[in-house]
């Protein structure tokens, strides 16, 4: 997970508005089912958990499996009742985590 994840959501919303949040993280996502040129299995290496919180409260948590494509894209909706920060965390099979956050203001 060398490259930076992308997150798209509005910078400001009306109180109580439901917003769509889109995320994409660059990752090869090796399933562990393929073989290398010598016939040996290529080890599994996937993002296995995605989490999103808003002001420290869970919004979305997903456990991923090898069938998820490379560079996984997620879109979900959340109701925003107050200004705050969405925090996104991706964890891979090697235990590496990547986090990013985006602020949203209630106008």
Read off the pLDDT band of 83 (50, 70, 90): very high
- Domain 6-106 top-level CATH class: mainly beta
Instruction: Give the range among 1-10, 32-41, 95-104 with minimum mean pLDDT.
Output: 1-10
Question: How high is the pLDDT of residue 86?
Answer: 98
Instruction: Read off the DSSP letter of residue 41.
Output: B
The alpha carbon of residue 42 and the mean position of all alpha carbons in its chain are separated, in whole angstroms, by 24
| Dist CA 81 CA 15 (whole Å) | 5
- Give 106: exposed, middle or buried? Use CB within 10 Å, 0-12, 13-18, 19+: middle
Question: How high is the pLDDT of residue 67?
Answer: 87
Question: How high is the pLDDT of residue 3?
Answer: 74
Question: Domains of the chain: which residue ranges?
Answer: 6-106
pTM of the model: 0.90
Question: How high is the pLDDT of residue 2?
Answer: 53
- Has residue 1 got a pLDDT over 60? no
Per-residue pLDDT tens over the stretch 22-79 = 999 999 899 999 999 999 999 999 999 999 999 999 999 999 998 889 999 999 999 9
């Amino acid at each position: 997970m060398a490259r930076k994840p992308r997150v798209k959501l509005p910078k400001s919303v009306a109180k109580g508005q439901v917003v769509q949040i889109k995320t994409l993280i660059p990752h090869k996502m090796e399933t562990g089912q393929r073989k290398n040129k010598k016939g040996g299995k290529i080890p599994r290496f996937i993002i296995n958990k995605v989490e999103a919180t808003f002001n420290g409260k869970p919004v979305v948590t997903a456990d991923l499996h090898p069938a998820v494509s490379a560079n996984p894209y997620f879109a979900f909706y959340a109701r925003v009742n107050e200004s705050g920060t969405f925090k996104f965390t991706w964890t891979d099979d090697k235990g590496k985590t990547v986090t990013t956050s985006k602020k949203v203001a209630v106008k």
